[in-house]
Amino acid sequence: MTACAIAAVTGAVVASERSSSSTWPTLRPHFSSSLSAEQRLKAVFPSIPTSARTGTSSRLKRFPRNGLTVNEMNEAQRKLAHSLLKAGLSQRGYLTASAIMDLETLLGDLEQQARKCGTAS
């Protein structure tokens, strides 16, 4: 009986960590159709070949960062993008990605303030 209870709790924890990947196929076209033609050109591009992703980090330098930034999206597009992240990542993965985005915004603000203080003195 204890083993069943442990299995049930473990199953619930594992399930909560999984993403709701069944929503990905329905969310992707909604996000894509919400973009303008110019945004779509930035957001949709060929994926990096597996051989380049599995090698050393220097191989990845050949692939510049590109894509559509969150700042280039309107609020509805941002919500759809976050829904896609939630669908494609575990709960922990989504929280980590969201925290990184928040920290990037904070870092940008701090750097901008530092530049202003440097030019004022």
pLDDT at 77 (0 to 100): 93
pLDDT at 61 (0 to 100): 53
pLDDT at 95 (0 to 100): 94
Here the tokens at position 120 are 């004022």
* Residue closest to 20 by CA, chosen among 97, 98, 93: 93
**Burial category of 25 from C-beta neighbours within 10 Å (exposed 0-12, middle 13-18, buried 19 and up):** exposed
pLDDT at 53 (0 to 100): 55
SS (H, E, C) 20-51: CHHHHHHHHHHHHHHCCHHHHHHHCCCCCCHH
pLDDT at 23 (0 to 100): 77
Handedness of CA 20, 25, 30, 36 (dihedral sign): positive
Residue 53, number of CB atoms within 10 A of its CB = 11
The Cα–Cα gap between 77 and 28 comes to 11
Here the tokens at position 109 are 């603000």
* pTM attached to this predicted model: 0.57
pLDDT 10s per residue in the chain (121 long)?
444 434 443 344 444 444 444 577 788 888 888 999 999 888 876 666 666 555 555 544 555 567 888 889 999 999 999 998 899 889 999 999 999 988 988 988 899 898 888 765 4
pLDDT at 75 (0 to 100): 95
pLDDT at 55 (0 to 100): 54
